[in-house]
Structure 1
């Protein structure tokens, strides 16, 4: 049952990111890179951050990279000049997520533990389900920020709820 909930949350993330990216297609590159809300990064910077962090985590979970190496992944904002390049980053990330989720066979798989050493030398161990929920929560936060910016620009992505 818990695995089913995780799968549904990641489907929701896919649908929500698609809706946000469809709305981003409606704005200019100038609007994409502008500071829309004082004290917040641009829409582009927020999405690059969101997709990069998600990619870091899934690379670690899939054992493609160690925890330490995964957290060194850095996508440079200047490498993503427009909505299309952001969509490509998301599609690449989402493909990895889908492959990983398809590899999970039961809720027991969500109990896997992952250990990494942080840049300050602290060793941290986390349970997979906790990290997967964190990624969803992190995404909800940043999609909400982007939705506010898009709405201020006159391009609301509409209802972003799961139900």
Structure 2
């Protein structure tokens, strides 16, 4: 069973990974960011934007709010700005989630789809959905010669531990 603390830690990994991706994405040209090198795969910029857009829609759903308006970013720098704002909002939401809220049923709305699911399942979906697209973004960056390096959960834990030792 997932716990609020466990979800916050998984979100920390997600945020750390996104930070690495966006840092390296900031080093590619706009042409590389917009390129679609493979059939059926979005550009680097669109892939990163999709991660953020999906999280924004789900966060609004968790909060019981209407689907938010989203201005599609025109550069990696704008994607990073959107990410920083969204990350702060999501962290604030997750900080207040209590164990008994995880079973709260959500009414899923478009573009998410219809039906009902628990808050815990919605949060896990966002994290796992993002993992898929972060992997795609990492491959796109690697193809541009800007590999973000290892983004595995264990690497995040080692990085976090190293930071704690420094403090």
Question: Taking structure 1 as the reference length, what is the TM-score of the superposition?
Answer: 0.86
Structure 1 residues 149 and 111: CA distance shift in structure 2, 3 A: same
Instruction: Write out per-residue CA displacement over residues 56-102 of structure 1, whole angstroms, 9 at most, x where no aligned residue.
Output: 11012122x1xxx32xx4535xx412221000111121111011011
Contact map agreement 2:8 2:95 (CA 8 A) in 1? no
Structure 1 residues 31 and 74: CA distance shift in structure 2, 3 A: farther
Contact map agreement 1:115 1:125 (CA 8 A) in 2? yes
1:108-119 maps to which residues of 2 (within 5 A)? 108-116=100-108, 118=110
Whole-Å Cα distance in 1 between the matches of residues 42 and 92 of structure 2?
Answer: 31
After TM superposition, where is structure 1 displaced by more than 2 Å over at least 4 residues in a row?
36-39, 73-76, 116-119
Corresponding residue for residue 148 of structure 2:
157
1:1-163 maps to which residues of 2 (within 5 A)? 2-63=3-64, 65=65, 69-70=66-67, 73=68, 75=70, 79-105=72-98, 107-116=99-108, 118=110, 123-163=114-154
Q: How many residues were matched structurally?
A: 152
Tell me by how many angstroms 1:131 deviates: 0.8
Tell me by how many angstroms 1:117 deviates: 5.0
Question: Taking structure 2 as the reference length, what is the TM-score of the superposition?
Answer: 0.84
Structure 1 residues 22 and 118: CA distance shift in structure 2, 3 A: closer
Whole-Å Cα distance in 2 between the matches of residues 21 and 150 of structure 1?
Answer: 10
Two-structure CA RMSD over aligned residues (Å)? 1.8
Whole-Å Cα distance in 2 between the matches of residues 23 and 115 of structure 1?
Answer: 37
